[in-house]
Amino acid sequence: MAGAVMTAGLIAAQTERRLLGTWLTMVGFVFASMWSIMSIFWAQSNPSPLEPESWMLLSSMAVSATVYFGYLGLYGDGLGE
């Protein structure tokens, strides 16, 4: 889901709808953040390809990207402007 929304955001950013692309990319990172945070708890009690610490690093990157693209969209800056 996150990948599809981020891809749609990047495609929208290539057109004149750069601000829409920024918001779609932020929504994609929201989904990625939620998935990573859920994976932290899953990895603590179930088999997982990554350790919980690795999931924490991935979730912190996704949350940081969410905040970054959120601020870009909030101030009206589109991707690539």
Alpha carbon distance 32, 35 (integer Å)? 5
The whole-number average pLDDT for the span 22-40 is 93
- Cα 58 from chain centroid? 10
Look at residue 46 and give its three-state secondary structure: coil
The whole-number average pLDDT for the span 19-43 is 92
pLDDT in tens, 34-45: 999 999 999 888
Alpha carbon distance 59, 28 (integer Å)? 13
Predicted local confidence at residue 81, as pLDDT:
64
Look at residue 16 and give its three-state secondary structure: coil
User: Structural domain boundaries of the chain?
Assistant: 2-74
- Asked if residues 31 and 64 have their Cβ atoms less than 8 Å apart, the reply is no
Q: Which has the minimum average pLDDT: 14-18, 31-35, 37-41, 58-62?
A: 14-18
Question: What's the mean per-residue pLDDT of the chain?
Answer: 90
Alpha carbon distance 36, 21 (integer Å)? 22
